Structures are given as C-alpha cells and as structure tokens.
Amino acid sequence: MRSNFTLPDLEKRLQELQDGALVQISLRDYERLFGLNDAARGRLRNFCRGHQCVAGFSDTAILFRKRVASVDEKREPRI
C-alpha cells in the first residue's frame, strides 16, 4: 500500500494508457480510495465510466483496463 497514492494519481496513470493497457492497484489502495461499504462498488463503477475503463478484481489487486474502442468507433468519430 502506498499511503500517498491518491485518486488524482490513479487518474493520471489511466490518462497515460493506450487502449487495452492495464493499471494495477492493491486491494488496500482500493479500500482506502473507494471504501468498503455498500456504495464502494458504485463509486468504482462511476469512476470507471468517467475514465473510459473497466475494473476487474483478483485475490490481491484491482486491475483497470483502458477501454478498447470497437472497429466502428475507430472509423467514425462521435459528433
């Protein structure tokens, strides 16, 4: 656990990723940043939606994967 690791640090790491790349944080960092109560998963879901990524849980870590755009999205940008 990195006690000085913050949500802005996680946001910065996610912004630097290319599509499909991963960022891993420990379960302790997840608990400290998002909490342990019933609302923690909702906060995580909203965070992921806002940063165009998905999160997966393992026994010891949370993996954030940058969203991979579909072929159609790459061809035609949204207006």
As a whole-number percent, the residues of the chain with pLDDT over 90 amount to: 62
| Cross-sheet strand order for the sheet of 22-26 | 22-26, 61-66, 53-57
Query: CA-to-CA distance for 32 and 34, rounded, in angstroms?
Result: 6
Query: Mean per-residue pLDDT for 49-76?
Result: 81
Enumerate the domain spans of the chain: 7-75
Query: Mean per-residue pLDDT for 28-34?
Result: 93
In the prediction, which pLDDT does 1 show?
46
Q: Residue 78's pLDDT band (boundaries 50, 70, 90)? A: low
Query: CA-to-CA distance for 55 and 62, rounded, in angstroms?
Result: 7
Read off the tokens for 60: 């010891």
Model pTM? Answer: 0.76
Query: CA-to-CA distance for 31 and 4, rounded, in angstroms?
Result: 14
With contact defined as beta carbons under 8 Å apart, do 65 and 20 qualify? Answer: yes
